[in-house]
Structure 1
Amino acid sequence: MSRVLAFLTARQSAGRAGWRVTDALFRGAVGGLGLVGVGVVLHRVDLVVIGAPLLLATIAALAVPVGRPPVPRLEPLPRTVEAGDGAKAAITTAADPGVEFLAIRLPTPGTASLGPVHLLSGRATTLRATLRWNAWGEGVDLRPDHLAASRDALLISGPVVGVETRRTVLPPVVPLITGPLPPRASGLVGAHRSRRPGDGVELRTVRPFQPGDRLRRVDWRVTLRAGAATGDPLAVPHVREQHAEVDADLVLVLDSLADVSAELADWSSAAPGVTVRPGGSLDGSVRAAAALAAGYLRQGDRVGLIDLGHPQLSLPPGVGLRQLTRLRHQLVACSRAAGWASRPVLLPRQVPPGAVVVFLSPFLDDATVTAATTTARRHLVIAVDMLPSPLVADPGTPWGEVVRLVMTAEHQARREALRANGVAVVDSPEAVAATLRRVRS
């Protein structure tokens, strides 16, 4: 009787701690007790010999306390990582002696897979997993789902969905050759030469001294030579006048209204497990924007970002490494909200005067073309066609090839409309530099 009471007490305490019984417990307890009872009533020793060990083993397994269910804890990892980085994730657990094994499932970062299941003994304290973030974006990359079992699996806890670990994976920066941007006429300090005089390093002319000129600009050699010709060495001081170095602005316009791949059959469905279609138009646009921003910020230009679908996510032009980090974070935010806008929005006040505007878009609708041509009336606009090529027809419908031909013809007509309105159209971000050199020459 005492053993039965201990069995019931252990079961109740485990239930209050968060454990639940399994079929193995009922089979061991009910089956063992039933065999022993029937054997005593019928005076069958064989039934008692079979049922007693089963009942005693069940009671002995429950006699070891299981305590609170173990909860895996993940050691802190960086909140922001680079695409292609890897890290060692350590998951620690603390279990009581009554826990026999712990099953932990880890999702695979950047994929739709739930990941492998790791089966650990109750004495194990640390699980180490290798993580690698191959795809950029933001979302859940590690979630230790777990299930714990007591001895002989008589009690289990779970399965429990673990605490989600979110991380921002910044898009990669690919080295890109940059071209010369036209300087802003209103600037006074920067990396580009302007036609107006001012502070700089490139000589513009040497002229006679005028009221307002600084004495440190006097060229004494030229002054002495000019004075020797007139007989008065200091009669007409001459000063050196430089070209002013001014800022140049580059504004990247991201088309987040559409994210398409080369397969027309996939346009109507979302990519499973990811927010951005790998190898699609938005993926290529974000990578191109990061590369262009890094290249022009490196040479001292000001770079900003405009999201056609969400103007509130735009980033004003800035300089330096901090601006590049902010811009890459903003690209991830734009991709997270992609596809929810009904039409493109580009306000004139978003583009500074004299800035070069680079459109990164597949140009699948006339509204985007209209936004680019309207901007071209006031700025130099370069359109980078991000539509994957060549398009692949849908093999599941007899009209697949016809649809492909129509889409290709409409896209080509939009490209021609851009060129007719003064917009330079290129097929890759690498061609932006050549276009800028052609414009400056």
Structure 2
Amino acid sequence: MTHVPHEPPTLHARHQAVLPSWLSLYYERPLELTHGEGRYVWDAEGNRYLDFFGGILTTMTAHALPEVTKAVSEQAGRILHTSTLYLSRPMVELAERIAALSGIPDARVFFTTSGTEANDTALLLATTHRRSNQILAMRNSYHGRSFSTVGITGNQSWSPTSLSPLQTLYVHGGVRSRGPYAELSDRDFIAACVADLEDMLQQTAGGVAALIAEPVQGVGGFTAPPDGLYAAFREVLARHGILWISDEVQTGWGRTGDHFWGWQAHADNGPPDLLTFAKGIGNGMSVGGVVARAEVMNSLTANSISTFGGSPVTMAAGLANLNHLLEHDLQGNARRVGGLLIERLRAVTAGLDLVREVRGRGLMIGLELVRPGTDEPSPEAASLVLEAARERGLLIGKGGQGGASLRIAPPMSLTVAEAEEGAGLLAEALRTAQGTLAGT
């Protein structure tokens, strides 16, 4: 009897056998990315892709950035881990840089390992300082996957439980082109959202602790209010003593081009009380954190540490990455190349019925897709475009309610030629998806 050897299980099959069913993967045939350089990555089969998503906005400067690789290698050769129980020169140096850049007076910085943990910490600080568990959050928002941050997430696709240690009150304003105020002018839109906030605060018992808001909603599909909304909110919050937490996990470090922080588009009356960051600062290393006024940061009355937050290796990576970002003016590059890319995408999508809106600023661009001939969001269209783009060598992301928006956020060193290449590939993918939908 001839022995027929069994085919070993694929990596995808092994993934499904040992990892949670809710740990979603992109693509019908999920990708294994093996290496990258600059704005390109390669899969296990040797195919090259132009990366327009950067590991969810995390590869901020470039893949395999030599300065970061060198900093990680040199620090790893000295000591990998100490914890926050010991003095750490890299942690103090990065904290000094971030405190100075934050715009928050008398700032203190606490490092975590992720944006989820950063927002969780900000909620702990705000509720402790204010002695209240009431939180204002924006509709369509996303703030992480911990128990507390899921409880304040205003996007049902990413909020698997209604249980929460917090009482969350959802405010209008994060989505400009949908909802009851969509047809208003920017000025009237802001006025209506402020009136809604005022009315909500009159209905609440006790003092609200904080408003947490993404200046540009990330998972929400790169939606944003008109500039100035959060400044107008801040006037109301200040009268009630309510803190403002700016979730800069995706908008920080100059990605929006016009500003180093997203809150600066709403800066008429100063910086937020707390600012959270993560993703891009580590360029792939696990770095997150909170910046807050000393009065707020120091309000905890019990001991607290972070075993892995602020590790020597991740801090060395963050310092090298931040230095590269500033020395090469990647914020300016995001403004210039991002502006060109947005205009190019608006031009190539002008005649496509499935594209409802091209929005964003800098290298943070969203395309909302609808069922052709309607105003109905189409997750099916987004999935079709994602697959068609991958087939052509372009990686993009998804988001928005139900996943009907495309998210484009390349490394901030993107060149003009690469922007043109990506726009062309995405245009082909969109036309293919529209043809498929028309056929069905």
TM-score category (smaller protein): under 0.3
TM-score scaled by length of structure 1: 0.23
Higher relative strand content:
1
TM-score scaled by length of structure 2: 0.23
Query: Which protein has the larger Cα radius of gyration, Structure 1 or Structure 2?
Result: 1
Higher relative helix content:
2
